[in-house]
Amino acid sequence: MAASFGPQRQQLLVGCGALLVGAALAYGATSIPSDAGYAGVGPNFLPWVVSVVLLLCGALLVWEAASGGYRAMEEPSGAPQADWHAMAWVAAGVLLNAALLTVIGFILSCMLCFMLAVRGLRISEGKAAGGVRKTLLDALTGFLIAAPAYWLFTKLLAINLPGLTTTGWL
């Protein structure tokens, strides 16, 4: 169905979609209390900022599409069709992360997500998915990304994330 629309009409639909999402977020932000909290900022501050920025971006996209389409836009790169095999690896990483987060903890589930997503991205570029050595390197890289994020949130910001142990370090 989308193939019957010309590029300019598709661009207009993207802008209108951004406007609708921004309007929906703004509507949702109206139900959040505005009582000032820490540092004088209430809980509705960030939703309003995101709503306003999204509405502004949507308006700019609509204006750009209506006044001749996106200018100086490069031809899209990549394959003409989706690589379902690669997408399956990335989707598996995201779904397993969500399913295992409370079972094996934040660090290990994010590490697994990273490993599977990187494998899928390699496949999408036409590269080898990786053997044992690359998989171990991906696991180490995922750990080196997830562990500091976990410690930052749990130790510094005092935000509870699911851990593997009760010590708060893993």
What does the alpha-carbon distance between residue 128 and residue 138 come to, in Å, rounded to a whole number? 14
Stretch 152-157: mean pLDDT, rounded?
80
User: Under a CB-based contact definition with an 8 Å cutoff, are residues 154 and 168 in contact?
Assistant: yes
pLDDT of residue 58: 96
pLDDT at 95 over 60: yes
Read off the tokens for 130: 């990786």
Q: How confident is the model at residue 1 (pLDDT cuts 50, 70, 90)?
A: very low
Instruction: Tell me the average pLDDT of the chain.
Output: 85
| CB neighbour class for 58 (10 Å; exposed up to 12, middle 13-18, buried from 19) | buried
Q: Is the pTM of this model over 0.75?
A: no
What does the alpha-carbon distance between residue 53 and residue 56 come to, in Å, rounded to a whole number? 5
Read off the DSSP letter of residue 160.
-
Name the packing angle between helices 106-124 and 132-151 (round to 10°): 130
What are 107-126's pLDDT values in tens digits?
999 999 999 999 999 988 88
pLDDT of residue 9: 87
For the ranges 1-5, 27-31, 146-150, which has the lowest average pLDDT?
Answer: 1-5
Delimit the domains of the chain by residue range. 2-66, 84-156
């990483």: which residue's tokens?
93
Query: What residue type is 85 in one-letter code?
Result: H
Q: Where are the alpha helices (DSSP H) in the chain?
A: 7-29, 45-66, 84-104, 106-124, 132-151
**Helix, coil or strand: residue 73:** coil
What does the alpha-carbon distance between residue 103 and residue 164 come to, in Å, rounded to a whole number? 8
Q: How confident is the model at residue 165 (pLDDT cuts 50, 70, 90)?
A: low
What does the alpha-carbon distance between residue 118 and residue 124 come to, in Å, rounded to a whole number? 10
Distance in angstroms between the alpha carbons of the first and the last residue of the chain: 48
What does the alpha-carbon distance between residue 14 and residue 69 come to, in Å, rounded to a whole number? 12
Read off the tokens for 124: 């999408």
